[in-house]
Structure 1
Amino acid sequence: MLRKNLNDLVVFVTVAKEGSFTRAAARLGVSQSALSHTVRDLESRLGVRLLTRTTRSLSMTEAGQRLFENVAPRLEDIEADLVAVGELRDRPAGTIRITTAEHAANSVLWPKLSPILLNYPEIQVEITIDYGLTDIVAQRYDAGVRLGDQVAKDMIAVRIGPDLRIAVVGTPGYLASCGKPRTPRDLAQHRCINLRLPTHGSLLVWDFAKGRQQLNVRVEGQWIFNNSSQIVQAALAGYGLAFVPEDLVAAPLSEGRLVRVLDDWCQPYAGYHLYYPSRRQSSRALAVLVDALRHRPSK
């Protein structure tokens, strides 16, 4: 009976997390009808309805929510313990899921992890590009990457990159026709390329600082993107000024295809940090990745 209950609870928790029998079936590798039958059997044994089903939606009842909140964390702990036991073999192994933004993935994760993983063929790394402030515990990620001032206080945070700087850039042709802004306030007279933030759906405010002065500027232009790579492309095409990490435009700046403006208003800010819940410290595979990613300033 205990074994059957555990199997049924795993099915229920998976369906509840996915919010769909179809997605849960794909994750577990079984048929949708089998999952539906399992949940109904669990509800019958408990004598309460756990899920409310309609043709278009799936939601938990009050009893289902209570069961989920009590059982899901325990199942995750069991899974983490099993992974930790399995890693007591000679070599670290297992899958590490990381959520990050595109810039961090390209500038930090790939260059640091790609050579290391050649020595650990039994470690699998899954990187998901996500510009939102993902709840890594709820979404079952092993770790996430954020800028230093965005990491929750209850997480273990490891610095993995140096301080960053923003560059405001435009093509020589654009600046010749529209002039160079001398202060951030001058951006109101310029065409700028905006970044749409996924967390609140708003546009990124361009932040500047010079000495004790701080200015937050909302800009306007023809183009709005949700990633920096396309913003750089639009800037190179002459559509206006871009506000991007300076390493993204190092090559076109050195080649003269872009020109930097407002450099004295762009101050360094906290770089990327890898963060994860304390319960994941026992993972040898994660420990390998943390050591490889850890920022070691050059002397």
Structure 2
Amino acid sequence: MTRTNYNDLLAFLAVARERNFTRAAAQLGVSQSALSHTLRALEARLGLRLLTRTTRSVMPTEAGERLFRQLSPNYADIDASIAALGDLRDRAAGTVRITANEHSASTILWPALRTLLPRYPDIHVEVVTDSALTDIVAERFDAGIRLGEQVAKGMIAVPIGPPMRMAVVGAPSYLGERPAVRTPRDLTSHDCINLRFLTLGNLYAWEFERDGHALNVRVEGRLTFNNPRQVREAALDGFGLACLPEDVVRADIKARRLRCLLSDWCPPFPGYHLYYPSRRQHPRAFALLVEALRRR
């Protein structure tokens, strides 16, 4: 048997409940003739008469009464479930899952959450820190935070952070008697601390630009980490040069624990973006988090 259209069943329920085609048609917003045609087509597909029609009334047959008793509570449950979902949409409640790298989680995401969460006690947030370029759809995240240049095509991207700069730094104890670093090519004669991206397994190529001329340098050294925090610690301990976001080492530079090199080769670039798959209707909890991050 051909699968029955749920709209046809809704039409049957309205007629069986109202016992009147005129009132049922008005309730459904269709003409009486269209409603009558729908019911006759449903009866033909089922091979059963569901309604007994007279000039004055409409009454369910035995089969119709049985179908009405079975369908009516189920459709009521469906309506209640949909209404409950609407309540979640309008109420600032629920769980939002976000993937972010450690730097953006601490400098962008947490300051926004610290302000937002006390105002909305029913919002729950799960943050997974990861340097990999996570597939947020496959991993069932609501959104991700990455640099603008790393956001996959087709995603909605919302800027949530200021422009950033990288800084090449080294501890005075390391620089000592070593050769001066005047251009990025001079890095090849230095011990540099590498950062490995988990997504592709590649080492980060240090990126430079000056006067419109871009240059990527593959550095070498004895240490490789997959976490910028550990790269910074190794640089502070004098194990080599590091290339890190400027705000990560700004206090160290100011306190002269680290010296900044090649600053004229490190221009600003677009900062962090919140990204998610589409512009579909989102729960209010998610919308509030997006707005909190946008304000920052």
- TM-score (structure 1 length as normaliser): 0.69
Distance in structure 2 (CA, Å) of the matches to 1:241 and 1:206: 11
Residue equivalent to 1:270? 270
The runs of at least 4 aligned residues of structure 1 exceeding 6 Å deviation read none
Name the amino acid aligned to 1:149. E
| Aligned length in residues | 215
Rate the CA distance shift 1:214–1:284 in 2: closer, same or farther, 3 A. same
Distance in structure 1 (CA, Å) of the matches to 2:163 and 2:287: 23
* Native 8 Å contact 1:196 1:226 kept in 2: yes
> Is the partner of 2:244 in helix, strand or coil?
strand
The RMSD of aligned alpha carbons is 1.7
1:54-203 alignment runs, 5 A limit: 84-88=85-89, 91-203=91-203
* Native 8 Å contact 2:89 2:282 kept in 1: no
> Is the partner of 2:253 in helix, strand or coil?
helix
Residue equivalent to 1:26? none
Residues 1:206 and 2:206 are matched in the alignment: yes
Q: Following TM superposition, by how much is the alpha carbon of 1:121 offset from its aligned partner in structure 2, in angstroms?
A: 0.7
Distance in structure 2 (CA, Å) of the matches to 1:99 and 1:171: 32
* Native 8 Å contact 1:161 1:295 kept in 2: no
* Native 8 Å contact 1:196 1:225 kept in 2: yes
Residue equivalent to 2:238? 238
> Is the partner of 1:268 in helix, strand or coil?
coil
Point out the structure with max Rg over C-alpha. 2
Residue equivalent to 2:254? 254
Q: Which runs of 5+ in 2 are unaligned?
A: 1-81
Residue equivalent to 2:29? none
Name the amino acid aligned to 2:259. V
* Native 8 Å contact 1:142 1:280 kept in 2: no
Distance in structure 2 (CA, Å) of the matches to 1:257 and 1:228: 17
Q: Following TM superposition, by how much is the alpha carbon of 1:249 offset from its aligned partner in structure 2, in angstroms?
A: 0.5
Rate the CA distance shift 1:143–1:244 in 2: closer, same or farther, 3 A. same
Q: Which runs of 5+ in 1 are unaligned?
A: 1-80
* Native 8 Å contact 2:144 2:276 kept in 1: yes
Q: Deviations over 1:60-97 (max 9, x none)?
A: xxxxxxxxxxxxxxxxxxxxx898524245x4000000
Q: Following TM superposition, by how much is the alpha carbon of 1:295 offset from its aligned partner in structure 2, in angstroms?
A: 5.0
Q: Deviations over 1:104-142 (max 9, x none)?
A: 001100112211111011000100011111111111000
Q: Following TM superposition, by how much is the alpha carbon of 1:179 offset from its aligned partner in structure 2, in angstroms?
A: 3.2
Rate the CA distance shift 1:281–1:245 in 2: closer, same or farther, 3 A. farther
Distance in structure 2 (CA, Å) of the matches to 1:168 and 1:272: 20
Name the amino acid aligned to 1:180. A
1:279-298 alignment runs, 5 A limit: 281-295=281-295
Q: Following TM superposition, by how much is the alpha carbon of 1:282 offset from its aligned partner in structure 2, in angstroms?
A: 2.4
Name the amino acid aligned to 2:88. E
Distance in structure 2 (CA, Å) of the matches to 1:233 and 1:177: 21
Distance in structure 1 (CA, Å) of the matches to 2:255 and 2:205: 28
My pick for the range that moved more, 223-232 or 173-182, is 173-182
Distance in structure 1 (CA, Å) of the matches to 2:85 and 2:254: 48
Q: Following TM superposition, by how much is the alpha carbon of 1:99 offset from its aligned partner in structure 2, in angstroms?
A: 0.5
- TM-score (structure 2 length as normaliser): 0.70
Distance in structure 2 (CA, Å) of the matches to 1:116 and 1:198: 31
Q: Following TM superposition, by how much is the alpha carbon of 1:175 offset from its aligned partner in structure 2, in angstroms?
A: 1.4
Q: Deviations over 1:151-182 (max 9, x none)?
A: 22322111100110000000112112213300
Percent identity reads 56
Distance in structure 1 (CA, Å) of the matches to 2:188 and 2:277: 43
* Native 8 Å contact 2:156 2:279 kept in 1: no
Q: Following TM superposition, by how much is the alpha carbon of 1:257 offset from its aligned partner in structure 2, in angstroms?
A: 0.5
* Native 8 Å contact 1:191 1:222 kept in 2: yes
